[in-house]
Amino acid sequence: MTAQHYGMAVAGEASAGPPSRRSRMLFPVLAVCPALALVAVLIAYPIAESVHISLGSWDGVGAVVFKGLANYTRLFQDSLFRQSLVNSLLFFVLTTAFSVVIGGLLANAISRGVPGGRFFKVIWFLPVIMPVSVAGIFWSNAFQPETGIANSLLGALGLGSDHAWLADPSGAIYLVVFVAVWTQTGYAMLLLLGAMESIPIEVHEAATIDGVGSAGRLFRITLPNIIPMVGTVTTLMAVFSFNAFGIIYSMTRGGPGNATSILPVLVYKESFQQQDYGYGSATAVVTTVIVGIIGVLVLRIFRQQTLDAR
């Protein structure tokens, strides 16, 4: 390249100048367009279609017959919906609380160097990777009156071997809570363990030198430092618990009667068994709104706890 050509090239680059502000803003927009399109197709459109179906009558074939808010009026007058809502709230509160508390205690034990911690971490996490339908069928068989392992163990201890666990309307909900906690606790443990291990070891060593015991370190050092993660884990456990269809349906089908029927089970029965997709969609929309409200409330509570801790 001659000196003349080189000078012309440099002058051309200089005249082009830096990219305009508009072009700098356009690139990020174009970069996220595929993701936005995917969200629109997989999330926004199904939600909009569910709301559309909930405002009418549809049996799965043909066009939706518009009925306005009739499905929602029927929904809030339905005793089965109210019972399913109560069951959902009870199941959600118990499952979330036990999953987070037990997961936190297990994580703290591993973080503090309990003997065999790595082995126990794997064992406690195994139920998480087990398909929920498999876990439900396994525990459903375990609680069978004559052939279940639960009655066999109780019989060997002289406590009776003919308990109809899943046929008891007053106790079946607590059994499915137990199984849900069993499947979710390992996930909570792993997330909380990661947060605990990010706390500098020097902080715990200084507390030990000052004479702070294990319980004191847990409540005065560990918990204040992992509150944001506790909030995240609680939110995840709450969402998982409120949408726990697989465990309950594989164990009890919502029975005995409707003793363990939660809102997702009601959605399934109304939509796919009764072929009343309009009513089922209305139930699904209300369930989504409730889950969203619970998630926002949990995050706000823990955000305030984080600010107070600081």
Give the mean pLDDT of 253-257: 90
Q: Is residue 117 part of a domain?
A: yes
Q: Is residue 153 part of a domain?
A: yes
Write the CATH number for 87: 1.10.3720.10
Q: Is residue 6 part of a domain?
A: no
Please give the residue that has the higher pLDDT: either 57 or 8. Answer: 57
Q: What's the pTM?
A: 0.82
Model confidence at 198: pLDDT above 70 = yes
Of 11-15, 72-76, 142-146, 147-151, highest mean pLDDT: 72-76
pLDDT digits (tens, 9 = 90+) for 30-47: 778 888 788 778 888 888
Lowest mean pLDDT among 27-36, 81-90, 161-170: 27-36
Domain holding 250, by residue range, is 78-309
Lowest mean pLDDT among 86-95, 151-160, 263-272: 151-160
Give the relative orientation of helices 172-197 and 79-111 as an angle to the nearest 10 degrees: 40
Give the mean pLDDT of 251-265: 92
Q: Is residue 129 part of a domain?
A: yes
Give the mean pLDDT of 221-231: 87
Q: Is residue 303 part of a domain?
A: yes
**Res. 161 pLDDT band, cuts 50 70 90:** confident
pLDDT score, position 92: 92
Q: Is residue 23 part of a domain?
A: no
Q: Is residue 24 part of a domain?
A: no
Please give the residue that has the higher pLDDT: either 29 or 138. Answer: 138
pLDDT score, position 10: 46
Model confidence at 270: pLDDT above 70 = yes
Model confidence at 54: pLDDT above 90 = yes
Model confidence at 48: pLDDT above 70 = yes
pLDDT score, position 218: 81
Q: Is residue 37 part of a domain?
A: no
Model confidence at 280: pLDDT above 50 = yes
Mean confidence (pLDDT) of the chain = 85
pLDDT score, position 14: 47
pLDDT score, position 309: 57
Domain count of the fold of the chain = 1
pLDDT score, position 9: 47
